[in-house]
Structure formats: C-alpha cells, structure tokens
Chains A and B, each alone.
Chain A
Amino acid sequence: MAEAQNWRAWLLTDTPTSRRHAKLSALYQGWLSFKGNTMAMVGLWILILLGLIALAAPLLAPHDPFAQELGNRLQPLGSQGHILGTDSLGRDILSRLIYGSRITLYIVGLVALIAPITGLLVGTVAGYAGGWTAQILMRITDIFLAFPRLVLALAFVAALGAGIENAVLAISLTAWPPYARIARAETLTIRSSDYISAIQLQGAGALRIIAKHIWPLCISSLIVRVTLDMAGIFLTAAGLGFFGLGAQPPSPEWGAMISEGRRFILDHWWVATVPGMAIFTVSLAFNLLGDGLRDVLDPKDSEK
C-alpha cells in the first residue's frame, strides 16, 4: 500500500528528475484523465474482452466452428446446446462468433499497422524533401483520396482475388492517404524548427533526421487518427466479407456470416442478426475508445 502511494507520488510529481520520469508522468496523467471518461473505458473493456476471447477461442467455444450437423440446422436462439442457435449448415453460431473475433482482430490489426506506416513514410519524405518529390507524392495521395473508398477496395479485391490478405491490402491501399497528409503537415512545421537546423549543422543526414527526429513527433497524432479510423476500417472489412470478397467460406468472418444468414432472414432472423450485433458492438467500442483517446492526446480537437 505504502509502496503504491510512493509510485503514485513519483508519477504525479511536478518536478521530474529525468526524461523517462517526465514521459512516464505525462503518460500516467493522460491515463488518469482517460480513466475518468466512462464511455471510453467501456470501449476499452469491450476491446480487451474481445482480445481475450480471440486468445482463448478454443477454450471458450462450446463446439467446433466448422463442424456441420445438417440434422440440426437453423435451430433458434436458446436451443439445447446452441445458445445462439445454428446456421444453415447446422454450425454453432456462438462458436463461429468466438472464432470470428480472431479474423476481425487480424484484419483490423494489420491494416492499422500497414496504412499509417505507409502514410508516415510518404508524408514525412514529402514534407522533408519538398520540391518535385513532394509534388509527385502528394499528387498520388490526392488521387487515392479522391477515390470513393469502398468502390476502390472492391475493385482491388476483385482484381487481386478474394481473400483475407487481399482484403487487408485493398483496405490499406484506400486508408493510407489521410495519414500521409497528417504526417506531411506535421513534418512541415517540424522541419523549420531550430533543433532540426541544429542537427543539420552537426552533419546529420536526411534519413537520420526523418527517422530519429521527425517520426517520433508525428506518431501521437497518427495514433489518434488510427483509433478514430478503426471502426471505419472494421466496417469496410465486414462489408467486403459481406460481398464474399473478404474471408472465404467456411471461415467464420462476421460479415460473411451475415451474408449467409441473409438468405433466411425472413424465417430465421437470428442467423444474420447475431453477427451484426457483434459487428456493431465492436465498432461502437472502437468509436468510444477513439473519442476518449482524442480527448486525452489531442485536446485542441476535442469537443469538450
């Protein structure tokens, strides 16, 4: 107890003793204000729960998500042994949902890595280099930005062939331009600051300056933007799955599950309804978390 008090005092101090101390202290204070935001905490907990479910899927799922049982198809909610019923091939919907959370996290996680990193590279290089390089890079960014996202993703997946990896690629291709713009804007303001001139005079090369002195400063605004975009990314992925262009059957991707259930919607509504609820819950959680993070990390944009 006393030790915890000490830690708190150390973290909340006004006079940090080292760089790391100051950093940790800022992080802790951010966490405290984030914790005060109930809705954001709800979002965070839902996502933590989702992560745990995905990790422990084999332990949690009551049935094999791929095991077909044709004699037992389209069982309603709350039937014996199948709390959320079964789909058109007699597969347990709850188990499929549980396994589907892995696919969800896989897609969102990959896109949330690829798109911002691409944007960061393009944006910082354009911002630091300027001139023709910037013209060309930003023109490409504009072109991608001008495209309607879902249509572009659809066309790309159709061209590359359906599948999770191609869906990730297609969504990343449509998602990176805003990050490039943000990174470029940040770079432009950083580039002209005195400390950059100082290290330039010391003989630091462009690569070193970009990687060690510009990237770290762009990252926090990118993180905010990524969290706010997660719900959109996730919904696009579910949309692709719904079209049959994302994860392929029999994999239990939630969008694809809705598309399967669509054929029976009038008589067996739960088959399409249940995965839809799951998608809604998760994307709501992403939105709540994103709003909360924005309030903490980027107070000037917050609505409060």
Chain B
Amino acid sequence: MALAEHKNGGRHRAPLERWIRAVFMPLGSIIVTMLGLMFVTFVIGRIMPIVPVLAIVGEQASKSTYDAAYEQLGLDRPIVVQFGLYVWDVIHGDFGKSLLTARPVAEDIKRVFPATLELATIGVFAGIVLGVPLGVVAAVKRGSWIDQIARVIALVGYSMPIFWLGLMGLLVFYGIQGWVGGPGRVGIFYVDIVPSVTGMILVDSILDRNWDVFKDALSHIVLPASLLGYYSLAYISRMTRSFMLEQLSAEYITTARVKGLSESAVIWRHAFKNIRVQLITVIALSYATLLEGSVLTEIIFSWPGIGSYITTALLSADMSAVMGGTVVVGLVFILLNIFSDLLYKVFDPRAK
C-alpha cells in the first residue's frame, strides 16, 4: 500500500474496460460465496433442535397429518435435493412462509427492511459528516487536544456494549429528560396514519406532507440513529486519521508545501484527494456493519427492522424466517463488500 508507484498496465486501460474486468473477474467467486452462504443457513436450519413439522402441525397432530406436512416440506427427499430446491426457491425470491406471521417471508422482509435501512442510513450519514472532518483534523494536528478527543471517542466506541449504551440513552433522554420519543418508530397515536410508499416513515410522512407524523418519527429515530452514528463515527474517524497520516508523511506533500501552497490546499486538494477511494471503502464497510449492528439496537428500541425480525423468529423457532432474514442480511453484507472492493480496484490504480 505504501507503494506510490503504479504499474503501467492498469493505468492506460480505458475505465470502461477496467470496470468490466473488475466486475466479471470476481463474479465466479461471488456466486460461490453466495452458494456457501445459503449452504450455511441451510445447515443451520437443519440442525435446529425443533422439528419443523411439529412447529407447524402441533404436538397433538395425527400421524397422517404429520406425514402430510413432512412431505409438503420436502423433508422426505435426499438432503442434496432439499438444498437444491432451497437454492432454487431463494433465487426466485421465495423464502417460504413464516410460522409466526403466516405470510411469505419475502413479504415480511420487504416490510421490515426499510425500517433498518432508514436507521442505518441516518446513522452512517452522521458518522461521515462528523467522522471524516474529525479524522482529518486529528491527523493534521497530531498530538493536539483534538487528536486526544478523537482517540478517546474511538476507544470508548470500540469498548462500549451497544445494547447497554442504548439502554442508558433511553433512560436519560427518554425516561428522565423526556427529550426524545421512546421505543418504536412512532408514538401510538401516529401508527399507520401516513400511507406506506417507501416504507421509510420519515420519507413517507414528507411525501404525505404530514408534519406531525414527521416530527414524531424524528423524535423516535434520533436516539437509535445517534447511537449507530456514534459507532460509525468512532470507526470512520479512526480510519480517516490513519489514512491521512500516511498521506501527510509522503514526499509529494513536502513538495506541495515547498511550492508555497496554502495549508488548506495541501490538506484538502492533495492529501484528502488521495484518500477518497480508501474512505469510500471504509464507509461501505461501516454501512454493512451498521446493518448488522442494528440487530442489538433494534431490540433495545423495539425498532421493527430486520434485526428484530430475525431475533423474534429465532426465539420462536420460526425457521424459514430465520433463514430468509440471515440470507438477506448476508447478501447485503456481501454486496456492500464487493462494491467497496470494486471501487478500490477501479479507482485506485495502485491496487493492480
């Protein structure tokens, strides 16, 4: 990474051709990874201690009902065939039916996913807006009090159990101060008032021009989103700082300074420009982690997102829902990872 020299080969190729190469070369490995992901969830589903048939028909069911359900689930076929059928279904967007909600899992996920997306997006946005400048300043004024503060913020962020911090936030800002809305996405009087268009309640209430709902939703999202924002701030500011330090110690920075460029030009137009790609990679990763990290946050704030969905399903042995939810979260995770990899390969000529 320290090598500033780039090989000529990658440099002169047209961007389009590089995109195509970057997209199709890893495609095979992506497919294998996806299959692996589905295989792992499949195995998890199969080693569940609860017999799926019993969960459907109940313990009182007669032998014939049991057998019928057994066959209907395809459990009488060889395991390889079962896995093949599972993959086939998943490719066609069919995750089976949830025992708990009695609806197709795909439909459930479509309903709960926007809630998670809304939360994680606001969180990562806060993390970028605060974290990037903080990281840059901490690197430029290395060893100053700002750098120390940035260090403490990151250290505390890495060490704090997120579910506990969420509880404390609820206790202080909702229980004691009453500044923010409590658990859930909106107060009970505002439930189902605005028509669901995007599934993201802030957007929906704007579209509906219903400002009361918007205000209420905002007061509910502020706390969990700040919580997630804090964690992405900790990560993003730390990474920004170390990327910037690497650039600032490079010789071209000295050259720029010797040329008499202003300090802000050196920092933003030279050093920062060179870390943009790395930074986007970090942000994509942090976004992926937030989608996952929202599992614990959603539980604390009774946020009806995919994290809550998977956990509720887990605790009630709702297999299809668990498998479906896990595959979707894993899929998003893999896609974001690949996306950041791609960016890196296409825009950073140093990475061959």
Query: In the complex, what distance in Å separates the CA atom of A238 from the CA atom of B158?
Result: 14
Instruction: Given A150-B295, A276-B161, A279-B161, verify A265-B322 contact (CB < 8 Å).
Output: no
Q: Which of A148, A150, A266 contacts B171 (CB 8 A)?
A: A266
Kindly state whether residue A54 has any CB partner on chain B within 8 Å: no
A-B pairs with beta carbons under 8 Å apart, 11 shown: A143-B36, A146-B37, A148-B330, A150-B295, A151-B330, A154-B295, A155-B41, A239-B163, A242-B161, A280-B160, A284-B156
**Are the C-beta atoms of A276 and B33 separated by less than 8 Å?**
no
Q: Which residues of B contact A288 (CB under 8 A)?
A: 155
Cβ proximity bits B15-56 to A, threshold 8 Å, 1 near / 0 not: 000000000000001001100110111001101110000000
Residue of A nearest to B295 (CB): A150
> Which among A142, A146, A276 has the greatest number of chain B C-beta atoms within 10 A?
A146
Kindly state whether residue A190 has any CB partner on chain B within 8 Å: no
Cβ proximity bits B162-204 to A, threshold 8 Å, 1 near / 0 not: 1110011011000100000000000000000000000000000
Q: In the complex, how many angstroms separate the beta carbon of A205 from the nearest chain B beta carbon?
A: 32
Kindly state whether residue A171 has any CB partner on chain B within 8 Å: no
**Are the C-beta atoms of A143 and B33 separated by less than 8 Å?**
yes
Q: Which of B39, B44, B171, B289 contacts A159 (CB 8 A)?
A: B44
Kindly state whether residue B333 has any CB partner on chain A within 8 Å: yes
* Chain A 208-266 residues near chain B, CB threshold 8 A: 231, 235, 238-239, 242-244, 255, 258, 262, 265-266
Q: Which residues of A contact B314 (CB under 8 A)?
A: 154-155, 158
Known A143-B40, A279-B161; 16 more pairs at CB < 8 Å = A140-B36, A142-B36, A146-B36, A146-B330, A147-B330, A151-B310, A154-B295, A155-B44, A156-B44, A231-B159, A242-B161, A258-B163, A272-B164, A280-B164, A287-B155, A287-B159
**Are the C-beta atoms of B168 and A146 separated by less than 8 Å?**
no
**Are the C-beta atoms of B292 and A276 separated by less than 8 Å?**
no
Kindly state whether residue A161 has any CB partner on chain B within 8 Å: yes
Closest 6 CB pairs of A and B: A143-B36, A276-B164, A148-B292, A284-B159, A158-B314, A283-B159
Q: Which residues of B contact A146 (CB under 8 A)?
A: 33, 36-37, 330, 333-334, 337
Q: In the complex, how many angstroms separate the beta carbon of B345 from the nearest chain A beta carbon?
A: 16
**Are the C-beta atoms of A255 and B161 separated by less than 8 Å?**
yes
**Are the C-beta atoms of B160 and A265 separated by less than 8 Å?**
no
> Which among B40, B168, B175, B295 has the greatest number of chain A C-beta atoms within 10 A?
B40
Interface residues on chain B, number (Cβ under 8 Å): 51
Kindly state whether residue A73 has any CB partner on chain B within 8 Å: no
Residue of A nearest to B154 (CB): A287
Kindly state whether residue B117 has any CB partner on chain A within 8 Å: no
Instruction: Given A146-B37, A238-B161, A258-B163, verify A266-B329 contact (CB < 8 Å).
Output: no
Q: Which residues of A contact B170 (CB under 8 A)?
A: 265
**Are the C-beta atoms of A150 and B161 separated by less than 8 Å?**
no
**Are the C-beta atoms of B163 and A155 separated by less than 8 Å?**
no
Kindly state whether residue B121 has any CB partner on chain A within 8 Å: no
Q: In the complex, how many angstroms separate the beta carbon of A167 from the nearest chain B beta carbon?
A: 14
Residue of A nearest to B317 (CB): A158
Query: In the complex, what distance in Å separates the CA atom of A279 from the CA atom of B156?
Result: 12
Interface residues on chain A, number (Cβ under 8 Å): 43
Query: In the complex, what distance in Å separates the CA atom of A151 from the CA atom of B47?
Result: 16
Kindly state whether residue B275 has any CB partner on chain A within 8 Å: no
Q: Which of B160, B242, B296 contacts A150 (CB 8 A)?
A: B296
**Are the C-beta atoms of A151 and B292 separated by less than 8 Å?**
yes
Q: In the complex, how many angstroms separate the beta carbon of A174 from the nearest chain B beta carbon?
A: 11
Cβ proximity bits A274-286 to B, threshold 8 Å, 1 near / 0 not: 0010011001101
Query: In the complex, what distance in Å separates the CA atom of A172 from the CA atom of B1?
Result: 30
Kindly state whether residue A23 has any CB partner on chain B within 8 Å: no
Query: In the complex, what distance in Å separates the CA atom of A148 from the CA atom of B290?
Result: 10
Instruction: Given A140-B36, A266-B171, verify A147-B333 contact (CB < 8 Å).
Output: yes
Q: In the complex, how many angstroms separate the beta carbon of A263 from the nearest chain B beta carbon?
A: 11
Q: Which residues of A contact B219 (CB under 8 A)?
A: none
**Are the C-beta atoms of B160 and A303 separated by less than 8 Å?**
no
Instruction: Given A143-B37, A279-B164, verify A150-B293 contact (CB < 8 Å).
Output: yes
Cβ proximity bits B261-301 to A, threshold 8 Å, 1 near / 0 not: 00000000000000000000000000011011101100100
Kindly state whether residue B326 has any CB partner on chain A within 8 Å: yes
Kindly state whether residue B245 has any CB partner on chain A within 8 Å: yes
Q: In the complex, how many angstroms separate the beta carbon of A270 from the nearest chain B beta carbon?
A: 11
Kindly state whether residue B82 has any CB partner on chain A within 8 Å: no
Query: In the complex, what distance in Å separates the CA atom of A79 from the CA atom of B22?
Result: 65
**Are the C-beta atoms of A142 and B33 separated by less than 8 Å?**
yes
Query: In the complex, what distance in Å separates the CA atom of A276 from the CA atom of B163?
Result: 9
Q: Which residues of A contact B334 (CB under 8 A)?
A: 146
Q: In the complex, how many angstroms separate the beta carbon of A161 from the nearest chain B beta carbon?
A: 6
* Chain A 68-106 residues near chain B, CB threshold 8 A: none
Q: Which residues of B contact A280 (CB under 8 A)?
A: 159-161, 164
Q: Which of A242, A243, A244, A284 contacts B155 (CB 8 A)?
A: A284
Q: Which residues of A contact B245 (CB under 8 A)?
A: 303
Kindly state whether residue A273 has any CB partner on chain B within 8 Å: yes
Kindly state whether residue A139 has any CB partner on chain B within 8 Å: yes
**Are the C-beta atoms of B49 and A161 separated by less than 8 Å?**
yes
